Structure 1
């Protein structure tokens, strides 16, 4: 690989930025291709700085059909269709969680952004109802199943380790928010969840079956 004039991607966790800035990138897109074509639901637990967010943003670029970002990589050769899907990307590492409204406010930001694209019904009041409505409308509007990417799912719980009551409140809110996913399998193309904690330690997604870990 020709490295002259290319930057090292120190601190860059976004695939699109990394590629647009012509940074050095160790091509793992063949593994990504196998991942998205093997199973539908995954849970990926790794310590901090192990490339989880970069992987999530790579998946996002792939499912949005951004073929140009994969020029010269294995994915360009492997993928023939380059279909674009509606993508809902949730990144829980964007803020700190010192009270319950930090989480509810962050969820509302995600939901409002998606509702600008896919619309909202007045009767959808709770966060879980809004998420379900967004997924159903995204499917109806595009004719494509929805991709849900959840990065650092346990960030709120790790932030609240010293406050058992707050941690339980946050856990309950996250469980409630994602509860519609189990019943919406036919409308989902791919569900990918990353975090630091092992899945069994937090039991947030206990209702989801067949998770590949």
Structure 2
């Protein structure tokens, strides 16, 4: 059986599915998260652990692009496939910035979303523009809005040890996020990812309806590749690596475990392999260090 190509450096669910690249099926988690009593979620995971791909998967799901999910777990779970308007803010491009640069970057992202939905806004303040964006989309589309925020903490990580600068950027971010609670009735779903949860970022105190699933048992395997996924969805890849290394299958699994396993985000938790390292190992057919 021919192996699928690996999506190394590709974090767009639509592209992975349309180009028939290897996709480890996480759609069962997507269904579970979008069909619970909570509507606002936060997930923390290390860099290159699949957070952006998860955000992209949620985007495709809420856009009801059913064809992309054919053959995946969620196909047998979802019956309605209701389409919702989705706004996405990716803060990964907001690094090494002062307050003025960060505000301009947020303004640029807001302008892109306003243009996409045909909305005009004369306001300057980011919180007013976000509230207007959500309200206008809700009234225009007649449906609740989905807000996805990827790497919310990227602007803050670079100044984490600079108390003065951190406080300034934190206030900019807090101001931007503040409408998310006020607009609750107009929101179908809010999902925020980051590398860490800054204890002093008031987004988490103001958004007191947000559910932090970072260390929940039921979501421990939502990012990364679990041992079960490795031995089932990647079984052919394991066999090919074993052949390349001239070792038995069990020896190959042991090598992969010794080098790329060891992540646990809850207790009890499945064994979680580093996805970036694992995909690079299979792609290059060589057990080596790929992640720092």
What TM-score bracket applies, with the shorter chain setting the length?
over 0.9
The Cα shift of 1:149 comes to: 0.6
CA contact (8 A) 1:120 1:130 kept: no
More contact order relative to length (CA 8 Å, sep ≥ 6):
1
TM-score by length of 1: 0.92
1:64 aligns with 2:52: no
Number of the residue aligned with 1:138: 137
CA contact (8 A) 1:171 1:204 kept: no
Comparing 9-18 and 144-153, the one that deviates more? 9-18
C-alpha distance in 1, partners of 2:40/2:72? 24
Which consecutive residues of structure 1, in runs of 5 or more, have no partner in the other structure? none
RMSD: 1.5
TM-score by length of 2: 0.68
CA contact (8 A) 1:45 1:195 kept: yes
The Cα shift of 1:21 comes to: 1.6
C-alpha distance in 1, partners of 2:108/2:80? 32
CA contact (8 A) 1:120 1:133 kept: no
C-alpha distance in 2, partners of 1:154/1:86? 24
Q: Size of the alignment, in residue pairs? A: 210
C-alpha distance in 2, partners of 1:210/1:140? 23
- Is the radius of gyration larger for structure 1 or structure 2? 2
1:55 aligns with 2:54: yes
C-alpha distance in 1, partners of 2:174/2:24? 35
Summarize deviations over 1:126-160 as a string: whole Å, max 9, x none: 11111101100100111110101111111111012
Query: 1:1-213, aligned counterparts within 5 Å?
Result: 4=2, 6-38=4-36, 39-116=38-115, 117-122=117-122, 124-213=123-212
The Cα shift of 1:161 comes to: 2.5
